[in-house]
């Protein structure tokens, strides 16, 4: 349970008292990777609640916007920051070391700003479109964060950390094959539970694309970083929503 609370504390703004995880060894975070899909479930449930409450009052477009805002609030825009930093770095057309320096810079450049605009816009449009399919958008709003956090285990298992030090080093290259398999399985089971076979099909598409993302980051940076994990969460979420829209019902 402490590992779950630590993951929740690290990856969200849910108020977990520091004393509840104060004595948790640093190497326990890697073993706690299996809780990442459950952290995603917390995020997805919160966002789905916001959508369910807002849609009858404000209509679907504004409810979708509030849902995107709720996602940013509960995560502290943690993953959006990773998306922006990663895009600023890899689209800078510089050498690897300079890319990593750019990714460390707290300022957001043009590429990062565009990435956030498109990510928010795609998520918003996908939620609006999914609200018109049988069953509505809520199952996919819940499932998307579960799947995305399961899939970032692909960026951790047998991966090289691209920096000499940093928070990503807690996970990258540190998780075992057992924890990797359990994390993926749990993420897919939660996706099937909430989004059904249709959601499962969309999840398989994103799984294939996730391997492509991992390969591209490795080719450009020579490994993964905390920013590329956050970027992966964002990309995998809206890819799942788009894949769910693209698959025939």
| pLDDT on residue 169 | 74
Contacts of 61 (CB under 8 A, 6+ apart): 128
Residue 215 per-residue DSSP state = H
Q: How many domains does the chain have?
A: 1
With respect to residue 53, please indicate whether it lies within any of the assigned structural domains: yes
| pLDDT on residue 185 | 98
With respect to residue 228, please indicate whether it lies within any of the assigned structural domains: yes
Overall pTM surpassing 0.75 (yes/no): yes
With respect to residue 55, please indicate whether it lies within any of the assigned structural domains: yes
Total H helices, total E strands in the chain: 10, 0
With respect to residue 1, please indicate whether it lies within any of the assigned structural domains: no
- Residue 25: in which H helix or E strand, if any? none
| pLDDT on residue 215 | 97
| pLDDT on residue 229 | 96
With respect to residue 160, please indicate whether it lies within any of the assigned structural domains: yes
| pLDDT on residue 43 | 98
Q: Which of 98, 48, 104, 97 is nearest to 81 (CA)?
A: 104
Residues paired with residue 161 on neighbouring β-strands, in sequence order: 224
- The whole domain housing 213 covers 34-246
| pLDDT on residue 64 | 98
- Would you state the structure tokens that stand for residue 74, as one six-digit string? 């509960």
With respect to residue 50, please indicate whether it lies within any of the assigned structural domains: yes
| pLDDT on residue 165 | 66
Q: Exposure of 16 by Cβ count < 10 A (0-12 exposed, 13-18 middle, 19+ buried)?
A: middle
Q: Which of 154, 155, 122 is nearest to 240 (CA)?
A: 122
Q: Could you tell me the CA-to-CA distances from 94 to 8, 141, 150 in Å, in that order?
A: 35, 37, 31
| pLDDT on residue 208 | 97
Q: Are 234 and 83 in contact (CB under 8 A)?
A: yes
* pLDDT tens digit at each of 249 positions of the chain: 788 888 898 889 999 888 887 777 767 778 889 999 999 999 999 999 999 999 999 999 999 999 999 999 999 999 999 999 999 999 998 999 999 999 998 889 999 999 999 999 999 999 999 999 999 999 999 999 999 999 999 999 999 998 876 666 788 998 999 999 999 999 999 999 999 999 999 999 999 999 999 999 999 999 999 999 999 999 999 999 999 998 887
With respect to residue 149, please indicate whether it lies within any of the assigned structural domains: yes
């Amino acid at each position: 349970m402490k590992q779950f609370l630590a993951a929740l504390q690290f990856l969200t703004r849910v108020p977990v008292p520091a004393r509840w995880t104060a004595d948790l060894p640093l190497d326990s975070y890697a073993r706690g990777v299996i809780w990442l899909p459950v952290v995603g479930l917390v995020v997805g449930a919160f966002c789905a609640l916001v959508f369910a409450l807002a849609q009858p009052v404000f209509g679907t477009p504004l409810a979708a916007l509030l849902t995107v805002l709720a996602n940013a609030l509960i995560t502290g825009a943690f993953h959006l920051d990773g998306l922006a930093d990663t895009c600023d770095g890899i689209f800078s057309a510089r050498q690897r070391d300079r890319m990593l320096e750019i990714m460390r810079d707290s300022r957001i450049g043009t590429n990062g700003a565009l990435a956030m605009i498109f990510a928010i816009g795609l998520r918003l449009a996908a939620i609006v479109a999914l609200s018109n399919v049988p069953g509505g958008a809520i199952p996919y709003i819940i499932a998307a964060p579960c799947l995305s956090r399961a899939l970032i285990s692909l960026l951790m298992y047998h991966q090289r950390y691209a920096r000499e030090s940093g928070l990503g080093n807690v996970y990258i290259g540190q998780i075992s094959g057992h924890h990797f398999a359990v994390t993926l399985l749990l993420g897919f089971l939660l996706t099937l539970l909430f989004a059904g076979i249709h959601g499962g099909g969309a999840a398989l598409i994103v799984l294939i694309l996730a391997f492509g993302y991992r390969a591209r980051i490795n080719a450009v940076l020579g490994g993964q970083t905390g920013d590329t994990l956050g970027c992966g969460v964002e990309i995998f979420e809206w890819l799942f929503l788009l894949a769910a829209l693209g698959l025939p019902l």
